[in-house]
Amino acid sequence: MKQKKLVLLFFICTVFSGELNSQVKNSYGESYLENGVYYTNIKLPVKFRADQVEALNSGLSFEADLRFSIVNIKSWRLDRTIGEVEQKYLVRYNAFTRRYSVLNSITGRERSSSDLSDIELHISDIKNLPLIDDSLINIDESYHVYLMTYIRAQDVPRWMQSLTFWRENLDTEMEMVEWKLFK
Amino acid sequence: MEAIQIRSNSAKKIIFLLIVLSISSLVALMFAADNPSEFNRMQLPLLIINSLSLLVLFGVVFLSVRKIMMDYKKSKLGARLRARMALAFSGLSVVPALLVFIFATDFMNKGLDIWFDADVEDGLRNALLLGRSAMDDQEQKRVFDTANIALSLDGIENIEQQLNESRETISAKQLLLLDQNLQIIAVSTETIGLFAPQLPSLLEVEIAQSQQSWSSLDSSSSDGYTIRVLIPILNFASNQTPLFLQGLFVVDPRLSMLADSVEETYAAYGRLSFLKIPIQYSYILTLLLVVMLALLLAIYGSIEFADRLVRPIESLENKTRSASESNSMLHLPQSDSDEISSLVESFIKAEKEAAWSDVARRMAHEINNPLTPIQLTAERIQKRYASVFKNEELDFLNKSTDTIVSQVEVLRDMVLEFGNFAKQPQLNFEVFDVSKLIDETLEFLKKDKDSFQVLVQHNGDASIEADINRIRQVLNNIFTNTIDALKYESHPVIKITTKSLVHQSNEYLVLEIKDNGHGFDNKLLDSAFEPYTTTKNKGTGLGLPIVKKIIDEHKGLISIKNNKEKGATLKIFFLKAYER
């Protein structure tokens, strides 16, 4: 009986450690303080699926929506969101130039490449993104940053989505990434 | 028995509201479809409303059908008729709706197929290729220009000045000198603000190094279409690491605009082509929703319609059953004023009249037979004992036998009236003046009773085509009743008016008789024309039923009502020309 319990415990530990490892491997985020501002570096496994690539090549554009939430973690009370930051990237394919382009909807900066993986890499590897002003942070408290990433097909009318609800969705919601604002 | 279980007014109101709501939302959906953004915004709520209506209607129809089937199995009266009617009416709506759906779906699919015709796609692709080949020429020229500049650069000294002069010479938007690690060495830009040039990727640098040039057509939201060229620089004496010259050229705005237009159209077509199946499904689903709603509405309407038609017949059956069980009178159901209800009403009336006629005939026969022996016996008794009795006994005998004889006469009159009510006379039609007949009748009645005032007003011709003897009987009965009603009035007045009236292409003579007597008991007013309805002590209750019967025989109409102030008014509509 005891042996069975040990086997079960080992199995659970293996599964969960694998899960944690894969999360660590796929997504990663860290923050640092510089000149009174917390910046962040993120690595995301942004990879368009085959049907999404087909849609992209057909003329549909995709929006990668990165939503950061800075949450004050309370021990015995409800956590409190103290700030939110959003980054939006519009990815599209130009049949005339045969190049993919990614436009940062917030900054207006644009980049193009004939290789989609370049674009994926551009969204996956974000560096030095300003998150929150230091004045809003109390160093004695604990803060976590949560990142939710959505990839949504544009130009698909909502009525069409609702009427064809049983079909596979072109949208993707990625795993949430969480890290401490500071150690 | 009712076909639909949901009978409460509130439930009916909700169903009605949902029906109105779904029809309105369908209309809104139709109008919103003209405006894509509006359609996008409104579609989901409208879809929810319609789906909700569909569910509720489905539930109602399901319950109704279940009820009909249960009634049918139990062989309830009217269930078979209701089921057949509902099925027939539903069938009439289901078949066309299904046909419309099938044809509409087919047409829609064919329309979409034509829309996404291969020729259209080829045409668009060719337009794209054509535009691209025009751009290729420009791209080659820019490669040549940039390569010449790269060859002309003779060292790193004064490189920015060299780049500025060269950029102006070849009309470039930007010239950029960088090493293979993508570090910028020098830059010359047409616009001062353009400090963030797009750097080539490492792959592009590799290609440029291996193939001696790399170029690409690019597009940006700010500059439109641009050409980017990357050329390795080989002739710098101090080259430690390979250097590259990147030239950025803006495509002619007119060409750029045309290219943009072709690309937009191609992309829009590609999007639609990619979404063809979802578009098809969503259109079919919307159509299906509309057809289902229409269908369920039609089925619900059919069941309701069948129910309304069958309800009077059921009511007749119920009334007949309850009347036969309780031996009571068969009262007319207060049903809707449609043809079926009128038919049922007429049927009940005809039954009642036939029954009363039969009763009257039997009574007349049964009473009449012993009357003559009674009268003769009384007269014989009087004759035989007149010589035997004297004084008081003789008086008693005479009074008693006179009473018997007079009561026999009363009974004989009653029998005569029963006979009149029961008989089916042969009518002899002739044209005569009703006003004269009225005067004659009044003259006859006023011989004994001249204590009431008669006001007569004849408006125009008062001639009709009718059986004069039967109409005389009508007037006789009416005036007798009227005079009786005025017996205890201090100032009795009878107002008689005649006038012509055309109604539904029939010409009538309207006779109105108004008195200021005691009027009718309100409880008896509705059954005033039914036999044996009377408040008189000596009345047979057949006067007005005989009047009604005669008027019916002449296809006329009769109505009676109490006056607001006092008395009653009777109206008779005589057909001026009898239609045989």
Q: Is the pLDDT score of B516 beyond 80?
A: yes
Q: Is the pLDDT score of B212 beyond 70?
A: yes
CB–CB contact A55 B274 (8 Å): yes
pLDDT at A107: 85
Higher pLDDT pick, B338 / B125: B125
Identify the band that residue A179 occupies on the pLDDT scale cut at 50, 70 and 90. Answer: very high
For the residues A114-124, what does the mean pLDDT come to? 91
| Residue A155 sits at the chain B interface (C-beta within 8 Å) | yes
Helix (H) or strand (E) holding B256: helix B253-274
Partners of A103 on chain B (C-beta within 8 Å) are 221
Q: Is the pLDDT score of B245 beyond 80?
A: yes
pLDDT at B330: 52
| Residue A169 sits at the chain B interface (C-beta within 8 Å) | no
Higher pLDDT pick, B329 / B528: B528
Partners of B47 on chain A (C-beta within 8 Å) are 159, 162-163
Contacts of B42 (CB under 8 A, 6+ apart): B28, B29, B32
Are the beta carbons of B316 and B333 closer than 8 angstroms? yes
Identify the band that residue A69 occupies on the pLDDT scale cut at 50, 70 and 90. Answer: very high
SS3 content of chain A, % helix, strand, coil (to 5): 30, 45, 30
Q: Which residue of B has its CA nearest to A54?
A: B274
The span from the CA of B357 to the CA of B354, in Å, is 5
Are the beta carbons of A145 and A179 closer than 8 angstroms? yes
pLDDT at B464: 92
CB–CB contact A158 B128 (8 Å): no
User: For B270, which of A58, A110, A112 is closest by C-beta distance?
Assistant: A58
pLDDT at B448: 54
For the ranges A179-183, B228-232, B351-355, the lowest mean pLDDT is seen at B351-355
> Which of these, B228, B256, B80, B250, lies nearest to B171 by C-alpha position?
B250
Partners of B260 on chain A (C-beta within 8 Å) are 96
In a mutagenesis test of the A interface, which of B219, B220, B281 is the best target, namely the one with the most A β-carbons within 10 Å? B219
CB–CB contact A95 B267 (8 Å): yes
Q: What is the mean pLDDT of chain A?
A: 84
Partners of A60 on chain B (C-beta within 8 Å) are 270-271, 274
Partners of A111 on chain B (C-beta within 8 Å) are 198
Estimate to the nearest angstrom the gap between the alpha carbon of A119 and the chain centroid. Answer: 15
Q: Is the pLDDT score of B122 beyond 80?
A: yes
Higher pLDDT pick, B343 / B239: B343
Contacts of B296 (CB under 8 A, 6+ apart): B54, B57, B58, B61
pLDDT at B52: 82
B49: tokens are 């409303």
Identify the band that residue A48 occupies on the pLDDT scale cut at 50, 70 and 90. Answer: very high
Q: Encode pLDDT of B62-101 as tens digits.
A: 888 898 888 888 887 778 888 888 888 888 888 888 888 8
Q: Given strand B243-250, what is the order of strands in its sheet? A: B184-189, B174-179, B243-250, B224-233, B214-220
Looking up tokens 């017996």, which residue turns up? B487
Q: Is the pLDDT score of A131 beyond 50?
A: yes
CB–CB contact A99 B281 (8 Å): no
pTM, entire model: 0.58
Phi, psi of B492 (to 5 degrees): -70, 135
pLDDT at A37: 94
Q: Encode pLDDT of B139-186 as tens digits.
A: 999 999 999 998 888 777 788 888 888 999 998 999 999 888 888 888
Give me the interface pTM, i.e. the ipTM: 0.75
Three-state DSSP class for B45?
A: helix
